[in-house]
């Protein structure tokens, strides 16, 4: 295991240590299914999908758990407007998230537990924390006693007394009484009309953080390798998850990874967020942007960097990815049946870049270097070397889920391709005759007519031998 990742708790890049050799347990904080996914949610999924795929490519067995928070204050609040029950809203939005993930080739998790399906585990975990003296019941609520937790704040670098000084740290809206304003709810008593489950403290539902502590341990064990999510979750969510899990006697996550957020161009760089009213929905983007280009746009930056979303960012991605697609298309056509020689693209450099805290930008630089070298080989007619280079470039692209051949095959019409090929060949012959007579007007007319039909002709010169290839515009 040569992968090194930034660990939020250590505040440095350190090797990802595995509890069981060859197997990695990874927990990802999934969405609260309250509204349809926006670009920021998808950036999260894409960044972590690259991690997932790189772990797989490294030969590991990956157990990826990504939860769905399908009951919480906002879902309850937002549902009911059109008579839609909260659980119907949650189900509808869960499907919207799944569709968004699928649209950009995010691999599914190994398990996708829902809060509503994990209530017994959650209740048992809260009981355990109470028994161990770190939580107390009050008015049907159960609160974690933060002052009893050794090392509280070490994940996010917070100091208890500094938090206490903040006037905004005092939560509200609870029915019970907190002994300390910093204490947070593990279990919330149901108010009239709210969904609830029976518990030793009366009917209620889980507090915000407890579900992840329960579901992670359910699937990955009391101590597991890696926990990931957005930087906006570091405090209080992950800090509290860690605190309550320790109170239960669990080792919990050994490594914490947080990715940057999507910011909005023109918004002063502020993050994209539903509550800020500046979000761009995935489904809207996909009406004008190809999904593979969206994937490139969201995945090309380093995962810890903020990512500015703008029309320019999409255009940049289209240009950069288009260059890759052009190479793969041209090289694939040219090397059909060619023996493989020596690659000019370096898998080792690519792997080293990803091993170093998922250095996708450097890895893409290696891909682009391979594309440039490949294009030169294509022009020189060095087909064996080109075939090998193409193979390596595609192997790299596959890790990023950007291989134009396997992962993003050209849409419909696949069966028609040979037919079109034959028809275009007739036109190409006619144009070749005209060119032989130096009848440029006639030759250009043929090309223009094909162009009008959406077919672009490109003359080639491979090692002194002229040829013609075509593609759809």
For residues 177 and 138, is the Cβ–Cβ distance under 8 A? yes
* Contacting RNA within 310-349 (CB under 7 A): 312-313, 315-316, 319-320, 323, 326-327, 330
Does 372 participate in binding RNA (rule CB under 7 A)?
yes
Smallest gap from Cβ 22 to RNA, in A, equals: 27
Q: To which H or E segment does residue 226 belong? A: strand 226-230
Distance (Å, rounded) from C-alpha 446 to C-alpha 450?
A: 6
Alpha-carbon Rg for the chain, nearest whole angstrom, is 27
Distance (Å, rounded) from C-alpha 29 to C-alpha 16?
A: 19
Smallest gap from Cβ 100 to RNA, in A, equals: 11
Does 463 participate in binding RNA (rule CB under 7 A)?
no
Options 55-63, 123-131, 303-311, 419-427: segment touching RNA (CB under 7 A): 303-311
Question: Which of 63, 93, 106, 307 is close enough to bind RNA by CB under 7 A?
Answer: 307
149-186: b (≥16 Cβ within 10 Å) or e = beebbebbebeeeebeeeeeeeeeebebebeeebbbbb
**Three-state secondary structure string covering 230-260:** EHHHHHHHHHHHHHHHHHCCCCEECCEEEEC
Question: Which of 26, 123, 137, 163 is close enough to bind RNA by CB under 7 A?
Answer: 163
Does 305 participate in binding RNA (rule CB under 7 A)?
yes
* Contacting RNA within 64-83 (CB under 7 A): 69, 72-74
Distance (Å, rounded) from C-alpha 30 to C-alpha 211?
A: 11
- Among residues 368, 353, 355, the alpha carbon closest in space to that of 402 is found at 368
What 201-208 contacts at long range (C-beta under 8 Å, 24+ apart), as own/partner pairs, is 201/137, 201/140, 201/141, 201/142, 202/140, 203/140, 204/140, 204/141, 205/71, 206/71, 206/115, 206/119, 206/122, 207/142, 208/72, 208/184, 208/237, 208/240
Determine the distance from the C-alpha atom of residue 450 to the mean position of all C-alpha atoms in its chain, rounded to a whole number.
40
Options 109-117, 123-131, 133-141, 451-459: segment touching RNA (CB under 7 A): 451-459
Residue number with CB closer to RNA (18 or 210): 210
Options 191-199, 308-316, 391-399, 421-429: segment touching RNA (CB under 7 A): 308-316
Smallest gap from Cβ 194 to RNA, in A, equals: 16
Smallest gap from Cβ 397 to RNA, in A, equals: 13
Question: Which of 15, 198, 203, 361 is close enough to bind RNA by CB under 7 A?
Answer: 361
* Contacting RNA within 202-231 (CB under 7 A): 208, 229-231
Smallest gap from Cβ 85 to RNA, in A, equals: 20
Residue number with CB closer to RNA (138 or 326): 326
Residue number with CB closer to RNA (340 or 369): 369
Residues whose CB is less than 8 angstroms from the CB of residue 69 and which lie 6 or more positions away in sequence, other chains included: 30, 31, 32, 33, 115, 211
Look at the alpha carbons of 110, 3, 296, 264 in this order and tell me if their dihedral is positive or negative: positive
Residue number with CB closer to RNA (373 or 401): 373
Does 272 participate in binding RNA (rule CB under 7 A)?
yes
Smallest gap from Cβ 20 to RNA, in A, equals: 26
* Contacting RNA within 171-190 (CB under 7 A): 171
Options 134-142, 154-162, 281-289, 335-343: segment touching RNA (CB under 7 A): 154-162
Residue number with CB closer to RNA (422 or 441): 441
DSSP state of 314: H
Smallest gap from Cβ 131 to RNA, in A, equals: 25
Smallest gap from Cβ 123 to RNA, in A, equals: 19
């Amino acid at each position: 295991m040569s992968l090194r990742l930034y660990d939020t708790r250590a505040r440095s890049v350190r090797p990802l240590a595995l509890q069981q050799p060859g197997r990695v347990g990874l927990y990802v904080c999934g969405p609260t299914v309250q509204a349809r996914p926006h670009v920021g949610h998808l950036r999260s999924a894409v960044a972590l999908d690259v991690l997932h795929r790189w772990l797989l490519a490294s030969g590991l067995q990956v157990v990826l758990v990504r939860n769905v928070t399908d009951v919480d204050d906002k879902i309850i609040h937002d549902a009911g407007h059109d008579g839609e029950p909260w659980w119907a809203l949650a189900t509808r939005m869960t499907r919207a998230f799944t569709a968004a993930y699928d649209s950009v080739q995010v691999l599914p998790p190994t398990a996708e537990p829902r809060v509503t399906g994990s209530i017994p585990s959650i209740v048992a975990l809260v009981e355990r924390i109470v028994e161990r003296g770190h939580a107390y019941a009050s008015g049907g609520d159960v609160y974690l006693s933060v002052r009893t937790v050794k090392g509280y704040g070490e994940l996010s670098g917070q100091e208890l007394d500094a938090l206490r000084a903040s006037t905004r740290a005092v939560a509200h809206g609870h029915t019970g009484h907190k002994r300390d304003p910093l204490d947070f709810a593990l279990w919330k008593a149901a108010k009239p009309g709210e969904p609830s489950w029976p518990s030793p403290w009366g009917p209620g539902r889980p507090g915000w953080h407890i579900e992840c502590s329960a579901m992670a341990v359910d699937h990955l064990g009391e101590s597991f390798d890696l926990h990931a999510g957005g930087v906006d979750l570091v405090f209080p969510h992950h800090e509290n998850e860690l605190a309550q899990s320790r109170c239960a006697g669990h080792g919990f996550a050994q490594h914490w990874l947080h990715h940057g957020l999507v910011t909005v161009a023109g918004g002063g760089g502020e993050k994209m967020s539903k509550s800020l009213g500046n979000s761009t929905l995935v489904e809207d983007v996909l009406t004008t942007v190809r999904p593979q280009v969206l994937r490139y746009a969201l995945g090309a930056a380093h995962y810890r960097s903020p990512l500015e979303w703008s029309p320019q960012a999409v255009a940049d991605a289209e240009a950069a990815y288009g260059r890759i697609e052009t190479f793969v298309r041209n090289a694939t056509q040219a090397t059909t049946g060619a023996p493989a020689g020596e690659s000019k693209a370096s898998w080792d450099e690519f792997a080293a870049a990803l091993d170093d805290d998922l250095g996708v930008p450097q890895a893409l630089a290696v891909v682009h270097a391979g594309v440039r070298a490949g294009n030169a080989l294509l022009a020189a007619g060095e087909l064996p070397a080109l075939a090998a280079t193409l193979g390596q470039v595609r192997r790299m692209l596959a890790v990023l889920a950007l291989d134009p051949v396997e992962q993003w095959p050209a849409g419909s019409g696949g069966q028609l391709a040979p037919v079109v090929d034959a028809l275009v060949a007739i036109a190409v012959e006619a144009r070749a005759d005209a060119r032989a007579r130096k009848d440029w007007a006639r030759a250009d007319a043929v090309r223009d007519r094909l162009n009008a039909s959406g077919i672009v002709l490109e003359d080639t010169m491979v090692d002194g031998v002229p040829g013609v290839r075509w593609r759809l515009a």
